[in-house]
Structure 1
Amino acid sequence: MRLAVLGAGAIGPATAALAVSRGHAAVLWSPSGAGTRGLDGILHAEGVLEGTFPVTVAATLEQAFAGADAALLTVPAYAFPVVLPRIAAAIPKDLPLLIAPAASLAPLAVARLRGPGAPVGAMATTPLTGRRLAPDRVRVAAIRAEAEMGALPGPAAPQMAALAEALFGNRWPTVPDALAAAFINANPIAHAALALGNVTRIEKQESWGQYGLMTPAVCRLMEALGAERDALAARFGHSPPSVAENLHRTNGVPHGPLHEMTAAIERGRGSVAGPTSMETRYVTEDVPYGLAFYLAVAAAIGQPMPVTEGTVTVLETLWGRGLRENPLLDGLDLARLPDLLSRG
């Protein structure tokens, strides 16, 4: 197949290389153009995926979509309000789109902007993890064995899971809808607790290891936030993996008390640097499109989330700004979510 990869940070180019390694063709588009600058048709990969892979660069969305059999969008959630309208205006109606990760009902936002068309895949997370080493070089840290797939409309999930498996080789167990997929990513929970517990280190730009500082106190907050998310998900009939299960899946450490699992990750992986800027995505992205998203959905159905509400309020106070604005939800009747998600 020919895959249009929309987003050229670290994950987009790495995923393009993965698709090419499996016999597909990939074209890479950067919303700003900066991500493809210096990439001259060849992408070098190292880590768990090694080799040299041909990748076409598209200057426009129209070029990216020309002849494509599928598209993958992988940009930070805070870019969605600007990028989604551009994609919805240009994407062919019959072209299936995968969004990784599908935070904050991004598939529903695309469908509302685009109108009726091909299904939108709601990936709970990205097919792999990695980082950009140079304009033409990526390091792939891990290729996920499996991750959940929802879709809009909900019944299209098996179709989108089969498409993703053909492109990337992972398994994609299906979940009922895009909301279930949005609940699965535990980053907003872990990152908010970590930022709150280490705000002075972030503000003073200290060097610190994040897993080693997921102390028992920070982990208690993570567990409380996770419990409230799980209770909200249950109101819609969903059961996302626990925070502990997410840590187990991503890092392979045995199950146990959360702070013991994070300590084991620190021992196994070494020190993984925590953020050193108040502009960290741990707060500026994961609160508006994670925790505050949960609060918006909860408010629509009368579900109390006092720990989540308090955490967002304290983070807003510490960061000196509002952290609840989410244009993806503007004009959306959240009380009608089950019907909207099922029917598209």
Structure 2
Amino acid sequence: MRLCVLGAGAVGPASAVLAASRGHAVSLWSPSGAGTAGLGDSIEAEGAIEGHFPLRVAKGLDDAFGDADAALLAVPAYALPALLPQVAAALPARLPLLIAPAAALAPLALDAMLAARGAAPDRAPVGAMATTPVTARRSSRGRVRVAAIRAAVDVAAVPARSAGEMGALATALFGHASPPAPHALQAGLANANPIIHAVLALTNVTRIERGEAWPQYALMTPAACRLMEALAAERAALAAAFGVEALGLEESLHRANGVPMGPLAEMAEAIAMSRGSVLGPASMETRYVTEDVPYGLAFYLWLARGRGIPMPATEAVVTALEALWGRGLRANPLLEGLDPATLDGALAQGYGRHEAARQE
């Protein structure tokens, strides 16, 4: 297929490499232009994928979409509020788009924007991937290090009935299993990073503030894991209130790192032994807080308020991080215009699509 990848940080180029390694033709677009500056017609991969792989640098969104058969949007959650309106304005009605990861309710927010601009009611679905196809770091301008390739990624869709179709697309592009999720909220609740990262930031804040090098998996100690498990239990109760199941932290680590299932602290120790010293953040401007709290933990609290569900441990962690970081961490523009009390119908049907029109 012809795949256009939107986002040229680390995950976008690594996903492009993975797709190219499977025989797909790939174009890459950088919203700022910085991620593709200096790239020619190929990129080098190291790590889980080795070699040089062809890609085309797109000059703009219209050029990226062009004759593409599918699109992948892979940018940090904090970039989505500014980027989704641009995507909604340019996305061809026929083109299926996957969002990885589907932070908060990004697929539903995009569908609302498409409906508002009068997009066709029979337009292609929007896919919601629970996490990214790969984990990666950008080694240099023309090189990306693929740390791991996911074995499985839950995939949902807007409208919900298209989950199987979008999962089959993700599998064809990237090779991982794509268990279908009931709707986009499950994908939005499946990512373990908001819980793991927030607790690591909270328990290692002085190391972060001093710019120290610290091994994050080795410091997932039993005490830190107990707090993670408390947050995960509240998230599981929240998911159940919406009729879905959130992927457990243990299963998330197993899928991402291949270590045997077991107690969370033991799994973290096994990852530390197998992968070496994967370092945690060394700056207060870390996505572990600036992204994973507003688009993760604070998003859970927004959902919980709409259903009257208490989440005291989650609330306490967000409040503590706000005090430590000296700023509010709950603003999430993706949620503007969405009502947590009326999400069920929108998650099932989307906005302005044929099924929704018949229901009206």
Q: TM-score range by the shorter chain?
A: over 0.9
Deviations for 1:36-73, whole angstroms, at most 9, x for unmatched residues? Answer: 00111111112222222111101210110111111100
AA in 2 matched with 1:335: A
Code of the residue aligned with 1:314 in structure 2: it is: A
Q: How does 1:12-161 map to 2 (within 5 A)?
A: 12-115=12-115, 116=121, 117-161=123-167
How far the C-alpha of 1:260 sits from its partner, in A, is 2.0
The one-letter code of the counterpart of 2:76 is P
Deviation digits for residues 198-227 of structure 1 (CA, Å, limit 9, x no counterpart): 111111111111111111211111000000
Q: Residue 252 of structure 1 corresponds to which residue in structure 2?
A: 258
SS in 1 for 2:40: coil
| Structure 1: 4+ residue segments shifted above 6 A | none
Give distance in 1, aligned partners of 2:25 and 2:18: 10
Do 2:4 and 2:65's aligned partners in 1 also have CA atoms closer than 8 Å? yes
Residues in 1 aligned to 2:49 and 2:270: alpha-carbon distance in whole angstroms = 25
CA distance in 2, matches of 1:254, 1:69: 37
Aligned equivalents of 1:270, 1:45: Cα separation in 2: 20
Whichever residue aligns with residue 94 of structure 2, its letter is D
Aligned equivalent of 1:3:
3
CA distance in 2 between counterparts of 1:186 and 1:164 reads 20
2:150 touches 2:255 (CA, 8 Å); kept in 1? no
Where does 1:139-218 land on structure 2 (aligned, <5 Å)? 139-218=145-224
Q: Which amino acid aligns with 2:166?
A: M
Segment drifting more, 249-258 vs 1-10: 249-258
User: Separation in 1 of the partners of 2:150 and 2:278?
Assistant: 19
AA of the residue aligned to 2:232: G
CA RMSD of aligned residues (A): 1.0
Deviates more, 1:267-276 or 1:150-159: 267-276
Distance 1:256 1:114 in 2: 43
Scaled by the length of structure 2, what TM-score is found? 0.94
The 2-side partners of 1:244 and 1:21 are apart by 29
Q: Find the residue that maps to 1:104 and give its secondary structure.
A: coil
Give the TM-score taking structure 1 as reference length. Answer: 0.98
The answer on whether the counterparts of 2:154 and 2:180 sit within 8 Å (CA) in structure 1 is yes
In the superposition, relative to structure 1, how do residues 255 and 21 fare at CA in structure 2: closer, same or farther (>3 Å)? closer
Cα shift readout 1:212-255 (whole Å, capped 9, x = no counterpart): 11112111110000000000001111112211221222222233
Distance (whole Å) between structure 1 residues aligned to residue 92 and residue 334 of structure 2 = 21
1:291 matched residue in structure 2: 297
Amino acid of the structure 1 residue aligned with 2:278: V
| Runs (5+) with no aligned partner, structure 1 | none
Question: Which residue of structure 1 lines up, in the alignment, with residue 118 of structure 2?
Answer: none
CA distance in 2, matches of 1:168, 1:212: 30
Measure, in 2, the Cα distance between the counterparts of 1:143 and 1:219.
25
Which residue is 1:227 aligned to?
Answer: 233
Distance 1:25 1:334 in 2: 39
SS at match of 1:5: strand
CA distance in 1, matches of 2:91, 2:257: 36
Determine the structure 2 residue equivalent to 1:275: 281
Q: CA deviation at 1:338?
A: 1.3
- The match for 2:306 is 300
CA contact (8 A) 2:98 2:127 kept: yes
1:257 Cα deviation after fit: 2.5
Q: How far off is 1:144 after superposition?
A: 1.4
Q: Percent identity?
A: 65
Distance 1:42 1:265 in 2: 32
Q: Secondary structure at the match of 1:331?
A: coil
- Indicate if the aligned counterparts of 2:5 and 2:27 stay in contact, CA closer than 8 A: yes
Three-state SS of the structure 1 residue aligned to 2:137 is: strand
Which one-letter code corresponds to 1:229 in the other structure?
A: R
Letter in 2 for 1:113: M
**Which has the higher mean CA deviation after the structures are superposed, 227-236 or 11-20?**
11-20
Counterpart secondary structure, 2:186 = helix
Q: What is the rounded CA distance, in whole Å, between the counterparts of 1:213 and 1:171 in structure 2?
A: 30
| CA offset digits 1:168-221 (Å, max 9, x no partner) | 122111010000111110100001111100111111111111111111211111
What runs of 5+ residues in structure 2 fail to find an aligned partner? 116-120, 351-360
The answer for the alignment partner of 2:357 in structure 1 is: none
Deviates most, 237-246 or 310-319: 237-246
The CA distance in 1 between the partners of 2:271 and 2:175, in whole Å, is: 26
Give the structure 2 partner of residue 314 of structure 1. Answer: 320
Between stretches 188-197 and 248-257, larger displacement belongs to 248-257
Instruction: State the Cα distance separating 1:145 from its structure 2 match.
Output: 1.7
| Residue correspondences, number | 344
